[in-house]
Amino acid sequence: MINDKPLTLITGANGKTGSRVAAILQKHHYPVRLAGRKKPASSDSADNYVFFDWYDSTTYGPALKNVDQVYLVVPVMEMHPEAVMIPFIKEALWSGVKRFVLLGSASVDEDGPIFGKVHQSLKELAPEWTVLRPSYFMENFTEGPHRETMKHLGKIYSAAGEGKIGFVSADDIAAVAFYALTDVVPHNTAHIITGPETLSYGQVADIISRLLDQRIQHESLSDAELRNNLIQAGMPEDYATILAGLDVFIREEGREDQTTETVLKVTGQSPVSLEQFIRQHMQ
């Protein structure tokens, strides 16, 4: 029996959301092509894997062959991804791709840095598009930078002060992406995606401390300290400046102090809370 469901190219297939989007699509018997510069961990994924490099346009054609839709993840730590992503989007459209779903950020609108110009180009060029704008990932505490400082120092560091964030799980982001890719009617909008509540890093530390029965503290850094820490961890200076600057907006303007019903409205399921997430992944 021929599968008449659309073929989805997943860029960033090894990433937090790309791997999850691919898994959900495959669970529902949608064909996927996993694109990346390293092979996925699962050996049974080798047959639907294609080598792909944003900076090598000769890899675009093989990746796009017979593809109907694309899940877009910007190149890692790239300040101006539009330089490579817009030409790719144009080639994809030329090859017959109709639907695009872009992973962006709740902190960055279409006039902002990094994601903004790509967001604008999809609105302008693509017949069917969605931009996912999630808040900060809950996975930052279980498999990201905060996990290491909690494990070794009992600390969560930020320059966000008492500013609150609508932390959201990558599973909930991927679930919204699945519907954005597969709903008959294209969404043609940007979705701000959050968890069910907003929390400061201090409140997060208290929740983790209680659930793990060990003392975790939030330590506030100055903007310069956070930026320098990011640079010391290997991040390019301009990118570290942007990222540290987001904490200023959280602290001073409450930019991430919001919850939306996007997950419930799009998927029919309520988003997981941070407490539920920690119980599932850290205990």
Task: List the CATH number of the domain containing 229.
Answer: 3.90.25.10
State how far the Cα of 132 lies from the Cα of 136, in Å rounded to an integer.
12
The band of 144, judged by pLDDT with boundaries at 50, 70 and 90, is confident
Q: What is the mean pLDDT of residues 55-64?
A: 97
Predicted TM-score of the model (pTM): 0.94
Tell me the average pLDDT across 60-74.
Answer: 97
104 lies in a domain? yes
HSE-up of residue 51 (Cα within 13 Å, Cβ side): 5
pLDDT(142) > 50: yes
Question: Which residue, of 84, 118, 134, is where some domain finishes?
Answer: 134
Give the helix/strand (H/E) hosting 73.
strand 69-73
Statement to judge: residues 108 and 226 lie in one domain: no
Which pLDDT band, with edges at 50, 70 and 90, does 282 fall under?
confident
CB of 278 closer than 8 Å to CB of 207:
yes
Same domain, residue pair 28 and 111: yes
Instruction: Tell me whether strands 164-165 and 199-200 are parallel, antiparallel or unpaired.
Output: antiparallel
Average pLDDT, the chain: 94
**pLDDT score, position 1:** 41
Residues 226, 274, single domain; the answer is yes
- What is the CATH classification number for the domain harbouring 60? 3.40.50.720
Number of domains in the chain: 2
What is the mean predicted confidence (pLDDT) over 246-262? Answer: 96
Count of Cβ atoms closer than 10 Å to residue 246 Cβ: 19
Specify if 25 maps to a domain.
yes
* Residue-range definition of the domain harbouring residue 20: 8-134
Rounded to the nearest 5°, which phi and psi values hold at 94?
-60, -35
Q: Is residue 213 part of a domain?
A: yes
Give the Cβ contact number of residue 154 at 10 Å.
14
Q: Residue 216's closest CA among 120, 151, 140, 142? A: 151
Predicted local distance difference test score (pLDDT) of residue 283: 67
Tokens of 276: 């539920």
Comparing 46-55, 128-137, 242-251, the range with the smallest average pLDDT is: 46-55
- pLDDT band at residue 19 under the 50/70/90 scheme: very high
> pLDDT tens, 78-116?
989 999 999 999 999 999 999 999 999 998 899 888 899
Is residue 2 very low, low, confident or very high in pLDDT (cuts 50, 70, 90)? low
129 and 139 within one domain: no
Does the residue 102 lie in any domain? yes
Co-location of 163 and 276 in the same domain:
yes
167-189, pLDDT tens digit by residue?
A: 999 999 999 999 999 999 999 99
Taking alpha carbons only, the member of 129, 74, 64 closest to residue 99 is 129
Q: Name the phi and psi angles at 156, rounded to 5.
A: -115, 125
Do 89 and 164 sit in the same domain of this protein?
A: no
Does one domain contain both 156 and 94? Answer: no
Please check whether residues 21 and 40 belong to one and the same domain: yes
